[in-house]
Amino acid sequence: MAQAATRTAVILFNLGGPDRPEAVRPFLFNLFNDKAIIPAPGPVRWLLARYISWRRAPLARDSYALMGGASPLLPNTQHQAAALEAALADLGEVRCFIAMRYWHPFAGETVREVMAFAPDQVVLLPLYPQYSAATSGSSIADWQDMAQRAGLDVPTRTVCCYPDLDGFIETMAKLTVEAWQRASAHGTPRILLSAHGLPERNIAAGDPYQWQVERSAVAIAAAVTRDLGYEPDWRITYQSRVGRLVWIGPYTETEVEQAAREGRPLVVVPLVFVSEHVETLVELDVEYRHLATSCGSPAYERVRTVNDDAPFIAGLAALVRNALGPGPEVASGGDGRLCPGEWSQCPCSVEVTGGPT
């Protein structure tokens, strides 16, 4: 009798986003009620989340209105899931599921779908190339909690990060070079590799996010330098800070304003986002473009995200294949730990020994 084909479930994690104007406030509440975002005692965090979501909802609704009233993140992720399924078809029966952290489909909903699929093995794959306890870490912990509650007991491997994945780096570099060439018709461009910010206290507590962001930036800049034949003017910046805490910098808006006042064309690269959503389509495309233009920049080019581009999907497929081979249960894009030892919040315990990039 022929042996049944292996069933593999790949779980794609992302932030999520409101699917209608009425969902904006509860989405924000879910975000700020996450202890990985506000590490306060439960009742205090709940009260803060209620207040912050009430205060921020009107402005956030205006931002989502510019995108038709809803976030495009889920449909974009669905396209990525379909492309990844096709790239993994030779592994047997593979299904890619989506688990969002702060809006539907939540991890609990997706766990039930996975249980109905009855996989032989599961791979957890955050759609965050760079690991942070506040993003990938929160999603992975939420999944583990929901899976345990539901009784989903299947061998599971986790890809925690892939900051220098070839398919990601090469696609971003290609798009950056194309944008640089357009901008260079107006002068010598400055490239801003813009990542989502994080409070300085998170980094001080051992979160490896900034170290991994810098690793991605250096890899993209090296590929751009190779393709242009010389190193362009580039720097790392951070966007999307909220609240009164001190966040890592330099801030993207400050660097946009400075370059614009110098009369420089700008190329802005979304360094940590793999699909379009409010922080690219509104913050970068609308708010920072307006800032650049009003401060005198002769050109503003925003590099699009990698979306479901073939090299990126091929890179994700290689990560899944590698995760299903021999090695630790939690690994970076290689076979183990990528981060230096001082980053205590890295989820890997085994030093990296190689593997696909």
- Going 184 to 188 to 189 to 191, the CA torsion angle's sign is positive
* Burial of 43 (C-beta count, 10 Å sphere; 0-12/13-18/19+): exposed
Query: Tokens 């999603």 label which residue?
Result: 139
Give the Cα-Cα-Cα angle 278, 55, 31 (nearest 5 degrees).
55
Q: 166-302 — its CATH code?
A: 3.40.50.1400
Q: How many residues does the chain have?
A: 357
Q: Is residue 140 within 8 Å of residue 106, measured between CB atoms?
A: no
Amino acid 141: pLDDT: 97
Token pair recorded at residue 75: 């449909």
Q: Residue 352 has what DSSP assignment?
A: P
Q: Is residue 13 within 8 Å of residue 127, measured between CB atoms?
A: yes
Token pair recorded at residue 56: 């921020």
Whether the full predicted model's pTM is greater than 0.85, yes or no, is yes
Q: How would DSSP label each residue in 296-326?
A: T-S-EEEPPP-TT-HHHHHHHHHHHHHHTSS
The whole-angstrom separation of Cα 64 and Cα 273 is 17
Residue 291 CA neighbour count, 13 Å, CB half: 17
Query: Tokens 């708010």 label which residue?
Result: 287
The whole-angstrom separation of Cα 343 and Cα 207 is 6
Token pair recorded at residue 88: 């993994």
Token pair recorded at residue 156: 């599971």
Beta strand 233-239 with 300-302 is unpaired
Q: Is residue 183 within 8 Å of residue 266, measured between CB atoms?
A: yes
Residues 6+ away with beta carbon under 8 Å from 2: none
Amino acid 76: pLDDT: 97
The whole-angstrom separation of Cα 74 and Cα 72 is 6
Per-residue pLDDT of the chain (357 residues; tens, 9 = 90+): 334 568 999 999 999 999 999 999 999 999 999 999 999 999 999 999 999 999 999 999 999 999 999 999 999 999 999 999 999 999 999 999 999 999 999 999 999 999 999 999 999 999 999 999 999 999 999 999 999 999 999 999 999 999 999 999 999 999 999 999 999 999 999 999 999 999 999 999 999 999 999 999 999 999 999 999 999 999 999 998 887 889 999 999 999 999 999 999 999 999 999 999 999 999 999 999 999 999 999 999 999 999 999 999 999 999 999 999 888 899 887 678 899 999 999 999 655 444 333
Amino acid 214: pLDDT: 98
Instruction: State the amino acid at position 36 in one-letter form.
Output: A
What φ, ψ does residue 304 adopt, rounded to 5°? -75, 170
Distances (CA, A) of 138 to 36, 39, 60, 195: 6, 12, 23, 18
Whether 7-163+310-331 and 166-302 share one fold: the answer is yes
User: Dihedral of the CA atoms 268, 274, 279, 284 (nearest 10)?
Assistant: 20
Q: 7-163+310-331 — its CATH code?
A: 3.40.50.1400
Beta strand 190-196 with 266-270 is parallel
SS3 331: strand
What φ, ψ does residue 268 adopt, rounded to 5°? -105, 125
Domain residue limits, the chain: 7-163+310-331, 166-302
